[in-house]
């Protein structure tokens, strides 16, 4: 029987796994179907690890190893050490380091996740939870009932959803402007033009295309989100230095699965959303489709390490404890300080070390193969 894995990721990870699930049968691979639940994190922008390190260590003179926690608040990246604030980095200073693939991402709140979680919209020690699907709703209701989290309707807290909509709109407008600029230089930003495509057209468009075309259409023009769908679908592709790369000895010819699954080649959002959301879910610009939005805080022991309210960790702990999932694919710090690496936890006790945000990019989807 296929394992049931919950996957936590930023919006581009969720888009990627949703596309892979829709096309799993076509590539005759089962790994996308292991994902039984998706938790998306709000994300305004992201950095490659080496760039984040350069920003903090080289530009601001703070050793990553001396930082206890990072937070993004009021337009600043704040690095906290044992004795308090070590650096406040205005977000505009980080712009030159933002991954080029992020600059054409229009999704702030992980629009296709079962549940989306973020800091904005809610008091400092809480998490905003946007519940989008029935599966997500059952999980959140169960976690509240069993005391893993306590929650209030978002209408009862400040600042509420207006700030989510504002940031989502800013991200959308910036990314569309960037896409227009790239198109003026003859780069086709195809994932923004294929939302209405049906799956037959997606498949027809990928026919006969392999790594060479993937490089030409997506990787070389700086559109790749480095989600890892290609490297998970095709054993001849690896992710090296934040870039899909062909392994030695492979011609790349006929590697259609990689091209077909790439969410930056085509992203047929309408079809994907049609298969994810129950009829009649509410929709608001910048929030997306949802059933309920709440402000939540985890019971201390259910999220001993946390970024905000610990909602992500507590929801996963509940799902593991109750056997709703067999594993949770999240991230933890690797050998280098603050470098995220994927981790699959099978028990809540293992999961707890993965709480908190590591503010740089990690390719998580290939970890599903071994999960």
- Answer for which of 11, 268, 286, 355 binds ligand FAD (CB under 6 A) is 355
Per rule CB under 6 A, is residue 313 in the interface with ligand FAD?
Answer: yes
Question: To the nearest whole angstrom, how small is the minimum distance from the Cβ of residue 42 to ligand FAD?
Answer: 4
Q: Nearest 5°: CA angle at 115, between 112 and 116?
A: 80
Taking each continuous run of H as one helix and of E as one strand, the counts in the chain are: 13, 15
What's the rounded Cα separation, in Å, for the pair 308 and 302? 13
Nearer to ligand FAD among residue 9 and residue 268 (C-beta) = 9
Which residue in the set 5, 6, 7, 8 belongs to the binding site for ligand FAD (CB under 6 A)? 8
Exposure class string for 26-64: b at 16+ Cβ within 10 A, else e: ebebebbbbbbbbbbbbbbbbbbbebbbebbbeeeebeb
> CB-wise, 22 or 149, nearer to ligand FAD?
149
Report the residue from 111, 120, 265, 324 that binds ligand FAD according to the rule CB under 6 A. 120
Tracing tokens 């402000």 back to the chain, one arrives at 295
Q: Does 118 bind ligand FAD (CB under 6 A)?
A: yes
Number of residues that bind ligand FAD (CB under 6 A): 33
Among 41, 154, 260, 269, binds ligand FAD (CB under 6 A): 41
Q: Which of 9, 210, 327, 366 binds ligand FAD (CB under 6 A)?
A: 9
Q: Nearer Cβ to ligand FAD, position 198 or 336? A: 336
**Angle, to 10 degrees, between the axis of helix 199-206 and the axis of helix 11-27?**
80
> How do strand 237-239 and strand 244-246 relate by DSSP bridges?
antiparallel
Cα separation, 204 vs 226, in Å, equals 23
Q: Of the two residues 214 and 303, which places its CB atom closer to ligand FAD in the complex?
A: 303
- Contact pick of 161, 307, 345, 363 for ligand FAD (by CB under 6 A): 307
Peptide linkage before 155 cis (omega within 30 of 0): no
For ligand FAD, the binding residue among 56, 111, 117, 324 (CB under 6 A) is 117
Run of H or E residues at 236: none
Positions that interact with ligand FAD (CB under 6 A):
8-10, 41-44, 46, 72, 117-120, 127, 303, 306-313, 330-331, 340, 354-359, 362
């Amino acid at each position: 029987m296929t394992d049931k894995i919950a996957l936590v990721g930023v919006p581009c990870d969720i888009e990627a796994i949703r596309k892979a699930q829709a096309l799993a049968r076509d590539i005759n691979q089962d790994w996308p179907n292991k994902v039984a639940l998706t938790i998306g994190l709000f994300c305004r922008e992201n950095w490659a690890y080496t760039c984040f390190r350069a920003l903090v260590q080289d530009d601001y003179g703070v050793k990553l190893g001396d930082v206890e926690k990072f937070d993004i608040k009021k337009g600043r990246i704040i690095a906290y050490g044992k004795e308090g604030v070590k650096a406040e980095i205005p977000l505009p200073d980080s712009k030159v380091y933002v991954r080029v693939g992020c600059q054409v991402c229009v999704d702030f709140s992980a629009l296709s996740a079962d549940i989306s979680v973020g800091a904005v919209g809610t008091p400092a020690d809480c998490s905003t939870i946007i519940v989008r699907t029935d599966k997500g709703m059952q999980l959140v209701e169960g976690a509240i009932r069993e005391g893993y989290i306590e929650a209030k309707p978002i209408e009862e807290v400040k600042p509420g959803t207006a700030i989510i909509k504002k940031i989502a709109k800013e991200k959308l407008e910036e990314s569309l402007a960037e896409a227009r600029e790239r198109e003026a230089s003859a780069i086709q930003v195809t994932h923004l033009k294929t939302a209405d495509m049906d799956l037959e057209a997606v498949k027809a468009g990928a026919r006969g295309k392999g790594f060479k075309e993937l490089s030409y259409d997506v990787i070389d023009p700086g559109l790749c989100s480095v989600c890892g769908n290609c490297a998970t679908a095709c054993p001849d592709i690896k992710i090296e230095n934040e870039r899909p790369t062909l392994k030695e000895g492979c011609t790349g010819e006929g590697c259609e699965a990689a091209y077909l699954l790439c969410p930056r080649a085509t992203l047929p959002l309408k079809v994907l959303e049609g298969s994810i959301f129950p009829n009649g879910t509410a929709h608001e610009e910048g929030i997306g489709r949802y059933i309920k939005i709440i402000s939540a805080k985890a019971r201390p022991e259910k999220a001993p390490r946390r970024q905000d309210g610990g909602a992500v960790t507590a929801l996963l702990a509940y799902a593991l404890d109750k056997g709703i999932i067999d594993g949770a694919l999240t991230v933890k710090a690797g050998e280098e300080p603050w470098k995220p690496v994927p981790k699959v936890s099978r028990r809540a006790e293992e999961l707890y070390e993965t709480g908190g945000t590591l503010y740089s990019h990690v390719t998580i989807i290939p970890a599903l193969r071994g999960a």
